[in-house]
Amino acid sequence: MNQSRWSAKISQYLLISAVAAYGVVFLAIVLARIRFPFELEWMEGSFLVQMQRVLNGQLLYTAPSLNYVPLVYTPLYFYLSAAVSRLVGGGFFPLRLVSLLSSLGCLVVIFLWVRKETGRGLAGLLAAGLFVACYNLSDTWFDLARVDMLFLFTLLLGAFCLRSARTYRASILAGVLFTLSFLTKQTALGFFLPLVLFAFWYGKKRYALALMATLLVLVGGSTLVFNALSGGWYGYYVFELPANHAFSLGFALYFIFKDMLPPFGFAWALILLYLAIFVNEFVGAKQENSRRESSFILFFSLVMFGASWATRANVGGEVNTLIPAYSALAVLFGLAAGRLLDSSSLTSLTHPMLSNLFLSMICLGQLLVLAYNPFAKIPSADDLAAGNQLVAAVRQIDGEVFIPAHNYIALLAGKQTYAHTVPIEELASFFGSHPETSQEPGILHDLEQAIQQQKFAAIILDNPDTVLFSQDPAGYWDAGSYSALEATDVFFSVSPFKPRTQLKILVPQNPSSTIQPGASSPADGVARLSLEQAGSLILSWYRQQKLDLNPQVTLPLKEMTTDEIWSRLGVQVFQVSGDIFMYDTFLVHRGQVTPMGTGFGGVGVTTLAVADLDRDGQSELLYTYSFGSGIHQSRLGIYSPTLPGEGILEASTTLTNGDLLLEKINDSQVQVKAELTGPSSVPIGQVVLQSQGGQETLALVLDKDLPQDILDNLKTVPGPASFYPTPTSHP
């Protein structure tokens, strides 16, 4: 008996120690990095720029321009952070401080809620402990300069007030808190509206009506005011653009089978055991109030899981969308632990001390499986030095600098800031299917014009390139990687989504050397084709494939030819940029049109590199392309005028569920990288052009010890993908 009692006490002390350890580690990481003057996550800089607009007295929601496009969030976080910055100073610190205080608020609400439900402080502590243990799973989002923690704090506090609302004052307070949550992140609507309907259906109607009236006045009124002040742009950014986000089946399944199930096996076991007993308690409850209160928390959890899943399942849905689900899981975990410790249904099966010991071990196991290395989350002195050097270098550039993925660097350097990559992609419908519906000719056109006019003294891009620049823009040449960041383990995000990276700098060519349509190639004197001329040739090619095309059909194209491709090979590369053949890519030389793989169901050619792999003095054009409306595939190909037929050869290796990327090391070495999730990529091997029995073959020589997920997605295929599955009639 004494031994069992002592075992139970020791297990409880271990639980409290584990929770305390996670809390101490979390605070230690925060204190070590909250004043770091550069990004901890790759989009933090855009939030800093937007806060600065508030401090400058500028509107947040305006017509889009190359100079500024707002993030698609409601404004409270930016205004609150700006107010805090007047007290504590500028930079990232006020933004992160708001997030930190909000995260601590979430922990307090979770603790109080579970303690109130169970009457056990230990259960509340376990719930808060599980939530803070999710810090690593959330890519350390709890103290980042992002809107999510303020959104979640006000949402949780509102739900907590609604849970026990028995007065008009409590109902109105819940409405105010839900409004603040909405004004932080508009997706709050999908979280709190079901709770409001539940309160109306299963609670006191008069209190529910007070809640609804509060929301109608505050949410509706604030929307009308901000929309009027912005000339209608508030509604466009907050509602219309996010509504265009496409559904992603991959992310939807990822939420269930990767995000929520594997990391929380112990927690789910405990929760399912509790729910089995809870059903009996619910059915046996005699008082309506008892049923309502017992069912509210279960309904709340279902709403949090469902709304998190819905936002995660959007194209562009990242780990921040999981944090509300983590909070609900933490509440259920604490509730299950507290109720099961008191449950006669469980203790009747065995000795109470043994059952308590068993439950404690499950809780401890869940906490331990979430352990992580805290030092990887803290920027180093080298990170700080590299950032300072970069800002100094940008400051010394004579002219304007475009840094689309990190526009705050220009702000720190005292230069004009330009729009961030992500809002530009929102306008271009990178996350959806209706590009630039509200603007003509559109921000991408403005960017193209600025590049043609060589507006920027430098363009600084992540290496590999961003989505905006799959190839180096015409008229600019690659001046190489920024030397201070040549080591890949310094600077930028400690978040795995977009990890520390190099930067490359593009600078304008001499205007007189820029190649124009009609100019001759140094390679063979062939005149360069215009887009109109190339479009006519490619349309003829389509018709030769026996496709029934409308005679009036047009073919929007963009040219992917770099100056190096033109000067060394005398060929041009064009990609269809819209309509029915979007992303089909072609190589055109001396009037001959050659398809470069297929864009059917994918995005066609993604990267290009000119090299001389076999060192025979004849340049080759390497390329990667993606396709597949069912299983996404990415393949590797090469063009050389010395190859037979159309000069195209493909490697027999394909990557499924990801993309292959090329990175030129030198003229005879081209590295291949694999990108499975997000923009981060992993080197996997090099391209080799071999001659066997008088026949050329293109091979991908893989590196050793590749990650298992890469190996699982590398396949061998018999030949190139057919350009079309079957001849098709097109309007």
- Count the alpha carbons within 13 Å of 564 in the hemisphere toward its beta carbon: 17
User: Which contiguous run of DSSP H or E holds residue 98?
Assistant: helix 93-118
Examine the pLDDT at 80 and tell me if it is beyond 80. Answer: yes
pLDDT of residue 652: 87
CA–CA distance, 82 with 47 (Å, rounded to integer): 11
pLDDT at residue 355 tops 70: no
Please tell me the distance from the alpha carbon of residue 422 to that of residue 433, in angstroms, as a whole number: 16
> What's the whole-model pTM score?
0.70
- What's the confidence (pLDDT) of residue 531? 84
Q: Cβ contacts of residue 221 below 8 Å, gap of 6+? A: none
Question: CA 644 to CA 44: how far, in whole Å?
Answer: 51
Q: Is the distance from CB of 710 to CB of 703 less than 8 angstroms? A: no
Euclidean distance between CA atoms 572 and 424, whole angstroms: 27
List strand residue ranges (DSSP E) for 163-297, in order: none
Q: Is 455 helix (H, G, I), strand (E, B) or coil?
A: coil
Confidence of residue 535 (pLDDT cuts 50, 70, 90): confident
178, 307, 341, 356, 468 from 113: Cα distances, Å: 17, 21, 17, 22, 46
| Cα gap 99→90, rounded to integer Å | 15
CA dihedral angle for residue 99, residue 47, residue 317, residue 319, rounded to 10 degrees: -30
Do 382 and 397 form a contact (C-beta atoms < 8 A)? Answer: no
Q: Where are the strands (E) in 547-694, listed by range? A: 557-559, 572-576, 585-589, 592-595, 604-611, 620-627, 633-639, 648-656, 659-666, 669-675, 682-692
633-658 in b/e form (b: 16+ CB < 10 A) is bbbbbbbbeebeeebbbbbbbbbeeb
Pairing state between β 714-716 and 695-702: unpaired
Length in residues, the chain: 731
- DSSP class per residue in 362-396: HHHHHHHTT---GGGGS--HHHHHHHHHHHHHHHH
Residues 6+ apart with CB under 8 A from 170: 161, 162, 164, 207
Q: DSSP letter at 111?
A: H
Whole-angstrom Cα distance, residue 561 to residue 569? 10
pLDDT, mean over the chain: 84
Who contacts 519 (Cβ-Cβ below 8 Å, separation ≥6)?
527, 528
Would you tell me how many other CB atoms lie within 10 Å of the CB of residue 616? 12
Model confidence band, residue 284 (pLDDT cutoffs 50, 70, 90): low
Give the pLDDT of residue 40: 93
Find where tokens 């026996």 sit: 546
380 vs 500: CA distance, rounded Å:
12
* Contact between residue 350 and residue 178 where contact means Cβ atoms under 8 Å apart: no
Q: Report which of 707, 557, 715 is spatially closest to residue 634, judged by C-alpha positions.
A: 715
Q: Provide, rounded to the nearest whole percent, the portion of the chain with pLDDT above 70.
A: 82
State yes or no: pLDDT of 169 exceeds 60: yes
Token digits of residue 319: 């780990």
pLDDT score at 684: 92
Measure CA 628 to chain center. Answer: 22
Cβ neighbours of 461 (radius 10 Å): 23
- pLDDT of the residue at 132: 98
pLDDT above 70 (res 499): no
Which residue in the block uniquely carries the two structure tokens 């008088």?
694
pLDDT tens sequence across 567-610: 888 899 999 887 778 888 999 987 889 999 887 777 889 899 99
Considering only residues 498 and 401, tell me which one the structure prediction assigns the higher pLDDT.
Answer: 401
Q: How far apart are CA 470 and CA 421, in angstroms?
A: 13
Alpha-carbon span 259 to 467, nearest angstrom? 26
Q: What is the per-residue pLDDT across 359-401, written as a single tens digit (0 to 9) for each?
A: 888 999 999 999 999 998 999 888 888 888 888 888 888 889 9
Average pLDDT over residues 305-333: 93
List C-alpha distances in Å: 627 to 158, 252, 337, 624, 715.
46, 21, 49, 10, 15
As a whole number of angstroms, the distance between CA 456 and CA 279 comes to 65
> In this structure, what are the phi and psi dihedrals at residue 33, rounded to the nearest 5 degrees?
-135, -5
- 28-53: average pLDDT: 95
- Separation between Cα atoms, residue 395 and residue 387, nearest integer Å: 12
The rounded Cα 68 to chain-centroid distance in angstroms is 20
The Cα 382–Cα 705 span in angstroms is 28
Sign for the CA dihedral angle at 318, 319, 320, 325 comes to positive
Q: Higher-confidence residue: 410 or 434?
A: 410
The closest of 664, 569, 650, 666 to 615, measured between CA atoms, is 666
With a pLDDT cut of 90, the percent of the chain lying above it is: 47
Rounded Cα distance, 89 and 198, in Å: 43
Output the 3-class SS for 640-669: CCCCCCCCEEEEEEEEECCEEEEEEEECCE
Position 89 pLDDT exceeds 80: yes
Please, what sign has the CA dihedral across residues 209, 211, 217, 222? Answer: negative
- Sorted by sequence, the CB contacts under 8 Å of residue 310 that are 6+ apart come out as 190
- Mean pLDDT lowest among 117-131, 278-292, 401-415, 621-635: 278-292
Residues 100, 677: Cα–Cα separation, whole Å = 28
The answer to whether residues 367 and 18 touch, using CB atoms and an 8 Å cutoff, is: yes
